[in-house]
Amino acid sequence: MLDMNVDIVIMAAGKGTRMKSALPKVLHKLAGRALLGHVLLTAKQLKPRRVILVTGHDAPKVIAFGADFMPANGQFDLKTVLQEPQLGTGHAVQQAVPELGDEGVALILNGDVPLIEAQTLIELIACSAGKKLALLTVQDGDPSGYGRILRQGDAVQAIVEHKDASPEQRAIQEWYSGVMVAPAAQLKTWLSQLTNDNVQGEYYLTDIVKMAVQDGTGCVALKTTDGLQVAGVNSPVQLQELERAYQQRAADRLMEQGVRITDAARFDLRGDLQCGQDVSIDVGCIFEGSVKLADGVSIGAHCFIANCEIGAGAVIHPFTHIDGGQEKASVGAGALIGPYARLRPGAQLGEEVHIGNFVEVKNSTLAKGAKANHLAYLGDATVGERVNYGAGSITANYDGANKHRTVIEDDVHIGSNCVLVAPVKIGAGGTVGGGSTITKDTVPGSLSVARGKQVSIEGWKRPAKKKI
Ligand code: UD1
Ligand code: CA
């Protein structure tokens, strides 16, 4: 892909005052993932030699995030450096110098600019060709506050920061995105020559542009009109705006594949969603982790669906909560789930299973055609084909120390309000009378009743209120 060594510097030392939060800015979430997590995943796609994270404010939390992120998302060489105090973007990159290679290029990214795409970065690296300084510049939206690109004819001459710019310079519409690629050797020289002789008294990374022009290295610009890719997060309002823009793009991609989304403004994807043909998604649904929906799946309004696979033609009625966690959950073809159902890790439902309102299923397998339609709990159970599991029945799977399994064989009918105390097996074709507490295995084909016998006392009188 790239025929040169790339070291990536991610600046994440800034305070993020406007977030008004105890959480470091780069750890705030967009689409369910920390801003810094988005940047690290994009960095990883470039197969860098090394990624250097510049931390400062709340460094321990940011470093801990990096350490946690790595095992879950694949190893690459991640180094962290500390910038203390924070004296500007040039000073930030200076801290990374000891970790930078002597040849190849350095790509500078911001930890709070989450939606930059790998393809754009690859193009920027190609513009640099390992020889020139390459800037990602933007002509989109209001440039105020940003560094402006000064050109002579077509050639980039310098960046002037907004606060240092003259009124004429502030009228320039092309601004610096904060992303650049520099040949590593020259970058080190330029960084050593920075001064803080400017309105803010900061070491500006952007001052290296002049140096590149002066020493003949040269500076090129790749101009984008996609403001979203370079948008930074400074406040909760900006975070929300980026979140909605991200979700709109995610919904657009799915709709282009044929998925029917009732309202893209009420659709949230926090992970990876793969859909077959003729999938429909009603309003207010949230998808997390890894979710696969096969052909013809219909998701009702206000469902939360995480880490699961849903088979062809299954219908998930409104307000259903599915979270398969690490073990995942699966729903068979033609199944009917909800409304108000809850599927937890290890729920594996076969074809045409019905799970109705207020039914919870955890670490259980239900074979084809099994039904639990109302107010029930199935935990650590193996349920056979065509089983009917009555309203209010539960598997008592936990003895206070250990979990035990309940086996319900094919064609069993469990009445309402039963307690199946595990470990226990209900033999095939058997029936359990309503209200039974079953503690012993039952014989196939039998009726099992385990409850107090009914007594009716004739002529019994209700107590009456005493007259005073
Ligand atoms: C910088 C650019 C500006 C550009 C803008 C794009 C400079 C001098 N200016 O503006 O031309 O238009 O980005 O967003 O580079 N950071 C540190 N340590 C510091 C200072 C900043 O790690 O000492 C980090 C921040 O956490 C942030 C990034 O660098 O992730 C950019 O800092 P910020 O203050 O937002 O940018 P500006 O300097 O205002
Ligand atoms: Ca600043």
In tens, the pLDDT along 220-255 reads 999 999 999 999 999 999 999 999 999 999 999 999
Length of the chain: 468
Atom of ligand 1 nearest to the CA of 15: 26
Residues 250 and 361 occupy one common structural domain: yes
Residues 333 and 225 occupy one common structural domain: no
415: containing domain: 236-448
Q: For residue 95, name the pLDDT band (cuts at 50, 70, 90).
A: very high
In the chain, % of residues over pLDDT 70: 100
Asked if residue 404 is part of any domain, the answer here is yes
pLDDT at 451: 95
pLDDT in tens, 108-149: 999 999 999 999 999 999 999 999 999 999 999 899 999 999
* Domain boundary pick from 182, 205, 230: 230
Q: For residue 347, give Cα distances in angstroms to 151, 257, 356, 397.
A: 61, 29, 14, 15
Q: Ligand 1 pocket check: which of 38, 54, 89, 203 to mutate, most ligand atoms within 8 Å of Cβ?
A: 89
Residues 353 and 444 occupy one common structural domain: yes
Residues 220 and 325 occupy one common structural domain: no
Residues 295 and 439 occupy one common structural domain: yes
391 DSSP assignment:
T
Atom of ligand 1 nearest to the CA of 203: 8
Pocket of ligand 1 (CB under 6 A): 11-14, 54, 56, 83, 86-89, 91-92, 110-112, 146-147, 159, 161, 175-178, 204-206, 232
Ligand number nearest CA of 112 is 1
Calculate mean pLDDT across residues 78-82.
Answer: 96
pLDDT at 70: 79
Q: For residue 389, name the pLDDT band (cuts at 50, 70, 90).
A: very high
Residue 394 sits in a domain of what CATH number?
Answer: 2.160.10.10
Q: Assess whether 354 carries a catalytic annotation.
A: no
Residues 319 and 343 occupy one common structural domain: yes
Amino acid letter, residue 348: Q
Asked if residue 456 is part of any domain, the answer here is no
pLDDT at 144: 94
Domain count for the chain, please give it.
2
Going by CA atoms, what residue is nearest to atom 14 of ligand 1? 178
Atom of ligand 1 nearest to the CA of 88: 23
What does the angle CA 31 – CA 316 – CA 408 come to, to the nearest 5 degrees? 120
Ligand number nearest CA of 83 is 1
Ligand number nearest CA of 146 is 1
CA of 66 to the centre of ligand 1 (A): 21
pLDDT at 123: 98
Q: For residue 1, name the pLDDT band (cuts at 50, 70, 90).
A: low
Residues 251 and 177 occupy one common structural domain: no
Asked if residue 455 is part of any domain, the answer here is no
Calculate mean pLDDT across residues 276-292.
Answer: 98
Q: For residue 220, give Cα distances in angstroms to 1, 127, 141, 154, 430.
A: 21, 7, 22, 9, 78
pLDDT in tens, 408-449: 999 999 999 999 999 999 999 999 999 999 999 999 999 999
Examine the pLDDT at 19 and tell me if it is beyond 80: yes
CA of 141 to the centre of ligand 1 (A): 18
What does the angle CA 152 – CA 157 – CA 161 come to, to the nearest 5 degrees? 115
pLDDT in tens, 150-194: 999 999 999 999 999 999 999 999 999 999 999 999 999 999 999
CA of 64 to the centre of ligand 1 (A): 23
Asked if residue 304 is part of any domain, the answer here is yes
Q: Are 207 and 187 in contact, with CB atoms under 8 Å apart?
A: no
* Domain boundary pick from 174, 204, 230: 230
Residues 131 and 243 occupy one common structural domain: no
* Domain boundary pick from 230, 246, 279: 230
Residue 90 sits in a domain of what CATH number?
Answer: 3.90.550.10
Calculate mean pLDDT across residues 305-334.
Answer: 98
pLDDT at 183: 98
Atom of ligand 1 nearest to the CA of 16: 26
**Mean pLDDT score across all residues of the chain:** 97
pLDDT at 72: 79
Going by CA atoms, what residue is nearest to atom 22 of ligand 1? 13
Residues 265 and 373 occupy one common structural domain: yes
CA of 243 to the centre of ligand 2 (A): 23
pLDDT in tens, 208-220: 999 999 999 999 9
Ligand number nearest CA of 204 is 1
Instruction: Given the residues 162, 302, 321, 374, select the one marked as catalytic.
Output: 374
Residues 98 and 176 occupy one common structural domain: yes
Residues 396 and 269 occupy one common structural domain: yes
Q: How much is the pTM? A: 0.93
Residues 320 and 249 occupy one common structural domain: yes
Atom of ligand 1 nearest to the CA of 85: 23
